[in-house]
Amino acid sequence: MSTTELAWFKSSYSGSQGDSCIEVALTEQAVHVRDSKDVSRLPFAVGREGWAHFVGFVAES
């Protein structure tokens, strides 16, 4: 699946101004992440387990 076919979404915590946001797209194997202000840049992907650890760390901060 190409990244243009992914269902990208922003966090519900993103502001309406559109600044400092990322978008994510979920697949069975990974979580894809891109800069919402520059979608022409290549996104990166991280395994779902790695993403869960990251989100858990951020939630504790």
Quick: pLDDT tens for 28-54. Answer: 999 999 988 888 899 999 999 999 999
6 and 39 in contact (C-beta within 8 Å)? Answer: no
pLDDT band at 4 (very low <50, low <70, confident <90, very high): low
25 and 9 in contact (C-beta within 8 Å)? Answer: yes
Give me the residues paired with residue 34 across strands: 23
Q: Which domain does 22 fall in, by range?
A: 3-60
39: Cβ contacts below 8 Å, ≥ 6 apart: 8, 23
Residues in the chain: 61
For the chain, give the longest Cα–Cα distance: 34
Stretch 18-37: mean pLDDT: 87
Q: pTM, whole model, 2 decimals?
A: 0.76
pLDDT at 32: 95
Chain mean pLDDT for the chain: 85
Count of domains observed in the chain: 1
